[in-house]
Amino acid sequence: MNVYRLGVDIGGTFTDIVLLDENGVLRNKKILSSPDDYSRAIEEGVRELLNTTGVKAEEIVELAHGTTVATNAIIERKGVTVALITTEGFRDVLEIARFRAPRLYDVNFRKPDPLVERRLRFTVPERITASGEVNKPIDIAALNEVVDRCRDANVDAIAVCFINAYVNPQHEEAVGYILREKLPGVSVTLSSELVPQIQEYERTSTTVVNAYIRPVIERYTERLEARLQDIGINVPLNIMQSNGGVLPARVAAEKPIFVIESGPAAGVVGAQRLGQKLGFNNCIVFDMGGTTAKATIVADGAFSMAPETEVGGDAALGHRMTQGAGYLVQAPTIDIAEVGAGGGSIAWIDSGGGIQVGPQSAGAIPGPVCYNQGGTEPTVTDANLHLGYINPDALVGGELSLNREKSEATLSDIATQLRQDTTDTAYGIHLIANARMMRALSSVSSERGLDPAEFPLMAFGGNGGVHVCNLAEALGCPEILVPPAAGLFSALGLLFADTEHQCIRAFYQPFDEIDLASCNMALSTLLAEAEALVARDGYAPNARKVTCFADMRYVGQNTALTLPIPNPPYDTEKLTEIEETFAKAHLATFGYRSDEESVQFVTVKAVGQGISAMPRLPDKVTVPEGVEKTGHRKAYYGDGHGWVDTPIISRKDLNADRRPGPLIVEEYDSTTVVCPSWSAALDGWNNIVMTRTNS
């Protein structure tokens, strides 16, 4: 019997589905997302893919999923009614938050409203000291009154976050027991179970976000599993985490903060693993979809991690490029810069009469005007259609017909307002979208002191190949790589990831005062917990890998760096080595090191991985070609080249010999535009490799 692995990635516009067999043959399906119930589009797409390929449901042995459901629930404020129970005197921690704003001199900026209304923020007299001692026992009478008020308010979930509970969870555990006993059916999240880390606002915010979306994700995963079982797919559902590992759905549903950046992480993992396979350890990763564009960097074979992220903030600025605009979440996250510039980003005229692009997006419904599903505002996709970059008749193998006449009419309207011709307006939209995406690309490369000219640019996503040549020229990147199934590469990247479990514990000790015995005990306990979680997923002892990480900083600093550390036991010599590793990382990140300052642990972590018996990456990925691509069409390449009659080809028409641009490579899931100053070839893994011809 043939065996297949199934990857499903939900985007703001499309849902991407891939089936990968043992020989690296990829079957795929791209379908418009269904925002009212994302699981519906998944069921429809999987059924269609199985029917058209003849693959049987019982032949699927693995299922990985990347989802934006958690993110969307926060951004759209569609979570559940949440109450917060915290220590007396700390009711307004969520309201006070951090003294940060995304734009320094924006007097009109307002923090997002807390996810818990003030009337549902309750306090209880109790106190644990910073050393973990009970200073004031829980006032049970006050707690019972809070329970009654939660019942009367019909809350769906409760977040519990007491001061210093990260040191001693005794009070939170007692309250959790009472709440679950007296309020059955109400979801309860304890900060000490979720993120036992220092910083009361950050821990409170994280606990509240988890409580707010947990019932939403639980219902979603239940619906999705039921739909898949109706098809006959009975393998466990795994969900991509923000840190690049996959997690069983039952765990992800309980702790959804770990899957908030699920979708973007999959593409980065795919790029990093593909780079390792091809023998290059450095690349800039660029993913442009229908709603946003994402960028990150892989250096020395690894992507960088951030100990926290913000969600629900200003997508136009990106999560890592600004802070203070969203809800903070203390969850390890691949460091990704994101901007609101995708194929569905809307072009509009501002109050000064200038043209802007995004961050508002037409999304899947109604989508760009050319999709003919009710869209009325011109988008980047409409501009690219006018410029000749994408097929004028249909996308996704002919399944999505385009209405060019409507698209041209909306572009003409905005061109008239700008007193320009339509081509100049369309190319302007294209270039402005590029400028927005350059912010993300620069933030992960040159703004970190890294020279983009030393990094190839790996581009994927449905629109990545259309824009990549101009972006690479602006960055100075010498080479571009577009992987097979580029428009579905995040779905493919899901299948390259390993199962991962994270165990976290606060360990707030400077190195010059550290208690080595307690440090070794803390890490050894975490290692055992992480390995037990991997064993629970069915991995044999020789298929388990457990590694340690730590958030470290100089004493007095506010920002910590997450770095791998050796497994215990530690002695003084080992700590000195860790201190030197931190100093080098600090120098690379911030441009200096302070050897006279003491280094301290903030948080220690153990990551348990389950190593699959099936190789994560095949030797080669082959995508069966659909309709033969032939002919020419005119495409516009700016003032320097104007309209050029451009050959339309398939990926298989390329080989190891370089073919000069301009070329347009059309595929089922994406389009790659090889501009006149570039040439393209195909490598042994079926990647399109582009290099400059005039350099």
Q: Residue 314 pLDDT > 90, yes or no? A: no
pLDDT at 7: 95
pLDDT score of 80 more than 60: yes
pLDDT band at 394 (very low <50, low <70, confident <90, very high): low
Return the higher-pLDDT residue of 217 and 100.
217
Main-chain dihedrals φ then ψ at residue 508, nearest 5 degrees: -95, 80
Examine the pLDDT at 365 and tell me if it is beyond 80: no
Please say if the pLDDT value at position 317 is more than 50: no
Q: How far is it, in rounded angstroms, from Cα 209 to Cα 329?
A: 7
| Global pTM value | 0.87
Per CATH, which fold does 77-214 belong to?
A: Dna Topoisomerase Vi A Subunit; Chain: A, domain 2 (3.40.1360)
Beta carbons of 491 and 18 less than 8 angstroms apart: yes
Mean pLDDT of the chain: 89
Min mean pLDDT across 161-165, 380-384, 450-454, 567-571 is at 450-454
- Tens-digit pLDDT profile for residues 102-126: 767 777 778 888 999 999 999 999 9
Provide mean pLDDT across the span 538-561.
90
d(CA 544, CA 540): 7
Domain spanning 280-341+434-482 has what CATH number? 3.30.420.40
Report the phi/psi class of residue 14: left, alpha or beta, with left for phi > 0 and alpha for psi in -120 to 50.
beta
pLDDT in tens, 236-272: 999 999 999 999 999 999 999 999 888 889 999 999 9
The residue written with tokens 């006449």 in the block is 405
* pLDDT of res. 540: 92
Of 157, 92, 160, 150, which is closest to residue 126 (Cα–Cα)? 160
Are the C-beta atoms of residues 330 and 310 closer than 8 Å to each other? no
Could you tell me the pLDDT band of residue 72, with boundaries at 50, 70 and 90? Answer: confident
CATH number of 501-610: 3.30.1490
Question: What does the pLDDT read at residue 560?
Answer: 85
Residue pair 318/437 in contact by the 8 Å Cβ criterion:
no
For the chain, first and last CA: distance in Å? Answer: 51
Task: Give the highest mean pLDDT range of 37-51, 366-380, 555-569.
Answer: 37-51
The pLDDT of residue 323 is 65
Bridge partner residues of 109 (DSSP) = none
Predicted local confidence at residue 160, as pLDDT: 97
pLDDT at 159 over 80: yes
- pLDDT for position 416: 92
Give yes or no on whether 77-214 and 280-341+434-482 have one common fold: no
322, 102 contact by CB (below 8 A): yes
Write down the domain spans for the chain. Answer: 77-214, 280-341+434-482, 345-432, 501-610, 632-692
What are residue 41's DSSP bridge partners? none
